[in-house]
Amino acid sequence: MLTPYDDRGDFLAQAHEVTRAIVAEFDELPDESWVGLLRTFPENGCESASWVVGSILAELGFGDWVMVGRSDPAGSGRHVWLEQRDAAGGVRYTVDASIHQFDGFTELQTGRGALAAHARWPGREWETPIRTSARRYAHPVYAGPLAWTRERLL
């Protein structure tokens, strides 16, 4: 079972461990239609994974997160990850639960500020705050994995 954020500990280390536990559950998802793109995680599952991870991090007291979708310069691909912003809108923390789908990465990434790896996708396409996106992500391919993961870990 995951535990809420403890402000006596290191925020980023705790967020990394929670994210790692969530991502590990994706390997256990049942073979059901509601699993959607997480069936092939980490490939093509960046948006779904970010929704699940960001929702659970927020629920556990890790603050508000924004899902960021960006494209590469050639327009041939896009990627989605989580950012936590400071009061001025700067990136305080980043969690990328699915960057290991790309060459050169072997596991998820967390860090202070923006991750250097994200320079690969400079074209900002969209952003959506986790806390105000429940309606947008009500479709079973998003809501199903979130409910399933929550039930197993919370």
Domain ranges of the chain: 11-153
Positive or negative: CA dihedral 81, 90, 128, 143: positive
Mean pLDDT of 135-144: 95
- How high is the pLDDT of residue 133? 93
- How high is the pLDDT of residue 2? 96
Q: Across the beta sheet with 123-129, what order do the strands follow?
A: 109-112, 91-96, 78-85, 66-71, 123-129
Mean pLDDT of 15-25: 98
Question: pLDDT class for 77, splitting at 50, 70, 90?
Answer: confident
- How high is the pLDDT of residue 76? 67
- The amino acid occupying position 91 is V
Q: How many CB atoms lie within 10 A of CB 76?
A: 7
Mean pLDDT of 55-79: 92
- How high is the pLDDT of residue 27? 94
* Nearby residues of 139 by Cβ (< 8 Å), 6 or more positions away: none
Q: How far apart are CA 115 and CA 117, in angstroms?
A: 5
Mean pLDDT of 15-41: 96
Smallest Cα–Cα separation from 82: which of 71, 99, 96? 96
